[in-house]
A and B are shown apart, each in its own frame.
Chain A
Amino acid sequence: MRFYEYEAREIVKRAGIPVTDYGFTRDAAEAKEIAARIGGPTVIKSQVLSGGRMKAGGVQFADTPDEAQAHAVDVLKLEINGQMPRGVLVDPKADIAQEFYVGVVWDGTAKQPVIIFSPVGGIDIEQVAEEQPDKVGRRHFSNILPFSDYIAKEVIASTGVTGSDLNKLVPIVSKLAKLFVEKDMTLAEINPLGKLKDGSFVALDAHMDMENEARGRHKALLADLGVGDEETREAREATAFEIAGEAVDAMDHRGVAGNVTEFDGNLGLVIGAGGGSLTLFDAVRAHGGDPANYCEIGGNPSVNKACGLAKLVLQKPGVDKIAVMMSIVSNTRVDIVARGVIKACLELGMDPSEKIAIFRIPGAWEEEGFLILDKYGVEYADRSVSMHEAARRAVEKIGAAA
């Protein structure tokens, strides 16, 4: 879950890392007050989750409080990559001598967090790594041993930084590393980390991503920041169709029939499980099909949930037929899914043999499932028909219908 910059800065500040005397507001008049309080030139920054703010005109410089207000009016109206800003951050225009970079991420290969540090900050760290590899230091640290400052010292020193800069940077980098672990972040980044003309260091921007699975452990922090439980902060906001999919999955606690993502094709998909859905979605597209949605069923959902999901997909505008397909199931019962999707058709006054292009779920209780499908004239397949072949048949049918 991604944080807005104003939230990320608050997290950094709470960890004891120096930040500028910034202010956050949703109101242009208040932006003027903040600028007046700060005194001197300010920067007005749009608060969106998307990158590329500068390019889009979401970062403006003001010399006076009036100018700050005028910029805030514009920035608050400016949509960036499909997102309206949450508000603006009013930041003193710092007197910077040098920009540094520090970030902490997981390394899935080493299975440890890794600190990345560079005396070349303010730009994309991957670009620095490519162009000046000797200016980027990396240092893993243990998941079990308590964090110790020498680790921060080593990574900073490895980039050639020494003297009082080194000694001032060590506590900042250490605090960021500890914050990363304690707050279950998947990314904790300060870029740029500014060295001011007076030799002190201050965080000028911050990016934080918290692991979704760990949100429950940080309720107090999230409440303080005003992040609601309903805020998923996904890469794109959920559509009404997707929210309806979540409601289906929440009908009862048995199994999964959800994780719905909307696409704009004509072939509705009732597919599963995790890897099976990925495989089947690709297979439909490889055969020229145009999926109306992605979804996942698994873990033995109830008849009602399977029915609810199938209904949702069948009623989606533009959907001609649905394909019900899974990889071989061992803990989901074939007959229960079959009952669910047939019930969905009947309750909507649709003919199952017409609406279900193919049913390909082999595995547990398949004999019972196939009997039900036979009764309603639905085309089905067992494991002798591959997932790709089933997808091909579904696409062929819908092609014939169109």
Chain B
Amino acid sequence: MSILVNENTTFIVQGITGREAVNLTRECLDYGKGAKVVGGVTPGRLGREVHGVPVFDTVAQAVAHHGGPIDGSVVTVPPAFTKDAVFEAIENGIKLIVIVTERIPRRDVAEMVELATLRGARIIGPNCLGLIVPDVIKMGGIGGPAKDAAKAYSPGTVGVISRSGGMTTEMSSTLTAAGLGQSTAVSIGGDAIIGSTYAELMPMFEADEQTEAIVIYTEPGGRMEAELAKWVTENNSRLPIVAFMAGRFMDEMPGMSFGHAGTIVEGKEDTATEKIARLAEAGIVVAEEISEIPELVKQAIAKRKG
């Protein structure tokens, strides 16, 4: 199967009339079995259409037009308006929210995540490209235009979780080239506070019968990898994990941030060296290069099946 989304998932795009959102909508409609994009929201643009998708002023109008609950939303509005858009989605019953927007202050993200938790909704991102179930559905800009996404992603048994949107595709493409498909690939976002961390997605992959192994892309900064190591140790996970750590050079440059907002090394625990040690202690294999990942995954799966 897959996690979070499947071919029946319905979603809207908030900020749908923006240039990137228009492209993203086209890509999602074209990819796999064709995403069910049931509406878009841009205040003041009621009555327009984007690639045949009706545009509304409010999420409530989109829900009314659809005639029932809508599963998800892709939010691509400017940073100053994102919190309001996400609150609107949550309060209108939407349970899966992908936030593409970058540069949102942490306070806003924390408020959105706490409200989502209260309402039983899940946030992916911010500062992410969304998620993809190969050949079935993509929700967000992940993998780009349908023909490009089809080149990089293929269906299979590996779950992919990545703090970098671009590297989600690079790693999946490497797996695909080696004959290893993906069950679901999730770009979780590069910020210091995000809606769904590795450890929070693991139970879903654990419950997904199709998934046999996990590949993660990690970076310096934050405690997310330590949280994953702890989860793996405490839950006796059936899934082997192969990790790739980028930004090792940052260990020599405390207080500076590279690549993503969340990468800043503020304490010893944030460094690549420390994180690699923490992951290894929990039995997570850390690859030196992306190209080693497929072989390490194959070995890990064979070992578990032993």
Q: In the complex, what residues of A have CB within 8 A of residue B190's CB?
A: 274-275
What CA separation (Å) do A80 and B108 show in the bound complex? 36
Interface residue tally for chain B (C-beta within 8 Å): 66
Q: Which of A90-98, A131-139, A168-176, A379-387 contacts B (4 or more CB under 8 A)?
A: A379-387
Contact with A along B151-182 (1 / 0, CB 8 A): 01000000000111111011001100100000
Min CB distance, B297 to chain A, in Å?
Answer: 15
A331 at interface by CB-CB < 8 Å: yes
CB within 8 Å of A: which of B269-304? 288-291
Interface residue tally for chain A (C-beta within 8 Å): 53
Q: In the complex, what residues of B have CB within 8 A of residue A296's CB?
A: 259
B125 at interface by CB-CB < 8 Å: no
Listed residue (B193, B246, B250, B291) with the most chain A CB atoms within 10 angstroms of its CB? B246
Q: In the complex, what residues of A have CB within 8 A of residue B167's CB?
A: 275-276, 279, 327
Are the CB atoms of B105 and A294 closer together than 8 Å? Answer: no
Contact with A along B238-261 (1 / 0, CB 8 A): 000000101111100111101111
A214 at interface by CB-CB < 8 Å: yes
Closest to B162 in A: A275
Chain A-chain B contacts (Cβ-Cβ < 8 Å), number: 163
B69 at interface by CB-CB < 8 Å: no
Q: In the complex, what residues of B have CB within 8 A of residue A144's CB?
A: 111, 114-115, 118
Q: In the complex, what residues of B have CB within 8 A of residue A274's CB?
A: 164-166, 190, 259-260
A219 at interface by CB-CB < 8 Å: no
Are the CB atoms of A282 and B254 closer together than 8 Å? Answer: no
> Contact partner of A383 among B103, B173, B219, B261, CB < 8 A?
B173
Are the CB atoms of B256 and A111 closer together than 8 Å? Answer: no
Are the CB atoms of B291 and A213 closer together than 8 Å? Answer: no
Contact A328/B115 with A111-B110, A213-B79 known, Cβ cut-off 8 Å: no
What CA separation (Å) do A121 and B291 show in the bound complex? 50
Q: Which of B5-13, B34-42, B57-65, B142-150 contacts A (4 or more CB under 8 A)?
A: B142-150
Q: In the complex, what residues of A have CB within 8 A of residue B30's CB?
A: none
A268 at interface by CB-CB < 8 Å: no
What CA separation (Å) do A357 and B13 show in the bound complex? 42
Min CB distance, B212 to chain A, in Å?
Answer: 23
Contact with B along A97-130 (1 / 0, CB 8 A): 0000000001011011100000000000010000
Contact with B along A20-33 (1 / 0, CB 8 A): 00000000000000
A316 at interface by CB-CB < 8 Å: no
Are the CB atoms of A364 and B258 closer together than 8 Å? Answer: no
What CA separation (Å) do A283 and B167 show in the bound complex? 14
B223 at interface by CB-CB < 8 Å: yes
Q: In the complex, what residues of A have CB within 8 A of residue B214's CB?
A: none
> Contact partner of A386 among B104, B224, B261, B291, CB < 8 A?
B291
Which residues of B are at the interface with A, using a C-beta cutoff of 8 A? Answer: 20, 23, 79-80, 103-107, 109-111, 113-115, 118, 141-145, 148-149, 152, 162-167, 169-170, 173-174, 177, 190, 192-193, 197, 217, 219, 222-224, 227, 244, 246-250, 253-256, 258-263, 267, 288-291
26 sampled A-B residue pairs with Cβ under 8 A: A106-B110, A108-B222, A108-B262, A109-B197, A109-B227, A112-B114, A126-B267, A144-B111, A144-B115, A186-B106, A211-B105, A214-B105, A235-B253, A261-B258, A274-B165, A274-B190, A275-B217, A275-B260, A279-B170, A279-B244, A282-B249, A285-B249, A330-B142, A364-B148, A386-B290, A387-B290
